[in-house]
Structure 1
Amino acid sequence: MGGSKNFHNGAGGTYDCIAIMSYYAVCRDVVSFRKIEEIEENLILPAFRRLRFVDINKPFWRKLMYRAFQNAEKQCAKWHDYEMHVAPYDKDKPIYYEFTACPAAEFAIKHGLTDIMPALCNVDFASMELLNARLVRKTTCSNGCKCDYSICGDRDDYLKEQPEYVDKAGFRRNT
């Protein structure tokens, strides 16, 4: 879905979220939150599973990941779908970027589907874990004004200061 005119998560990335939300809107009485989460995982995680050899704890992979985010920022600007901002690289700090506009979150808010957004957003944590990395996130576009990403290696001391929890809505978050 979406074809080549959508960048986020590859061709159709935004539209897959909207399709899942539409499915949920029709079937919410008979489909579980976990099932929606599983559908999203089946769409996103296979690409990350093929990258299990990547280890963000190593400088080479960390820098390469940063460059991938810089490229994503350029693609977002080209397609005008997500507004993405990547902070300058600092080898001693987590990679940081944020989305200040997310078409999937905007759709969910407009159509009263924010209750299912954790099922779509939490996959970001799982994808990073497959790269020996950890995501530290405090808010998303569907429950705040931005979706923030701090990404570090899974052995980084930064994680000690950022315990993870699941909030009342079901979002994986950090303090």
Structure 2
Amino acid sequence: MKTAKVEYREMLGRIDDIGFDNPMASNVYMSFIFFSVYRSAKGKITIDSLRVISREVISWKPLRFIVFFIDANKPSGIKAIRKNMLKNAQWLEDHPEYKEVSWDFNFDDQKHIDGFYYHFTQCPLNNFARREGLLDVLPVMCEMDHFTADLMHAKLFRENTLASGGCLCDYWFVGNKLKDPR
């Protein structure tokens, strides 16, 4: 853990500056915990073990409480998810100096009847993982999106991720009580 702490700090110095107050920065901070532990373990933690660890972290009770109030089965829940993503996109509009390195938000309210859809074609975590030789670890971070959706009583449907070589990361959230809307 001591070497992971040092590695974490060094990683923060090597990622593109996306803005310290970027509301999406928490994705970097969380992912770097896993990246640094994985790298510091020098092969003693496998990708599958890291997957188990990430599930344990995301199911931590205090974390579950943070998103407990969002229920994607209610219109207010989908609106809350949408509002949060629009707020994140607005931050980027207000800080254009980070547009070349931060997530780019692309919303499409017409793509699906149910839920909320958006996608990214740019992700600083993807760029970092490719530069740092951590592309094998990045899909574990992408999988955490599904666990987060579950905390909000949602299903996340996804066809592509940048980590798997796709041209975008897509997010389609619907309530988890809705029959498969595809």
TM tier, smaller: 0.7 to 0.9
Say yes or no: does 1:51 pair with 2:59.
no
State whether structure 2 residue 57 is matched by structure 1 residue 42: yes
The separation in 2 between residues aligned to 1:124 and 1:9, in whole angstroms, is 15
Q: 2:109 aligns with which of 88, 97, 107?
A: 88
Over the matched positions of the two proteins, sequence identity in percent amounts to 24
The one-letter code of the counterpart of 1:155 is K
| Partner amino acid, structure 1, of 2:81 | M
Instruction: Answer yes or no: is 1:70 the counterpart of 2:86.
Output: yes
Counterpart-to-counterpart distance in 2, 1:72 and 1:155: 27
Partner of 1:112: 133
Q: Which residue of 2 aligns with 1:129?
A: 150
The structure that has the greater radius of gyration is: 2
**SS state of the match for residue 114, structure 1?**
coil
Residue number in structure 1 paired with 2:124: 103
Query: How big is the shift at 1:27?
Result: 2.0
Poorly superposed stretches of 4+, deviation over 4 Å? 43-46
- Is the 8 Å Cα contact of residues 73 and 84 (structure 1) preserved in structure 2? yes
Q: Which sits farther off after the overlay, 56-65 or 27-36?
A: 27-36
Distance of 1:30 and 1:68 partners within structure 2: 37
Contact 1:137 1:147 in 2 (8 A): yes
Q: Which one has the bigger strand percentage?
A: 1
**For residue 21 of structure 1, what is the aligned residue in structure 2?**
35
Q: Which runs of 5+ in 1 are unaligned?
A: 162-175
1:156 alignment partner in structure 2 = 178
Aligned residues: 158
The answer (yes or no) to whether the contact 1:18–1:107 under 8 Å persists in 2 is: no
Mapped to 1, the partners of 2:131 and 2:143 lie a distance apart of 20
Deviations 1:39-87 (A, max 9, x none): 5762796444333242211112222221111112122443432112122
Cα distance change, pair 23–6 in 1 and its aligned pair in 2 (3 A): farther
Q: Distance in 1 between matches of 2:68 and 2:75?
A: 16
Deviates more, 1:89-98 or 1:116-125: 89-98
Aligned to 1:170: none
Retained in 2: the 8 A contact 1:73–1:86?
no
TM-score, normalising length: structure 2: 0.72
- Asked if structure 1 preserves the Cα contact closer than 8 Å seen for 2:154 and 2:173, the reply is yes
Distance in structure 1 (CA, Å) of the matches to 2:75 and 2:110: 12
**Structure 2 counterpart of 1:169:** none
The TM-score normalised by the length of structure 1 is: 0.74
Matches of 1:136 and 1:35, distance apart in 2: 24
Give per-residue Cα distances to partners, 1:129-149, cap 9 Å, x unaligned. 111110001111112111100
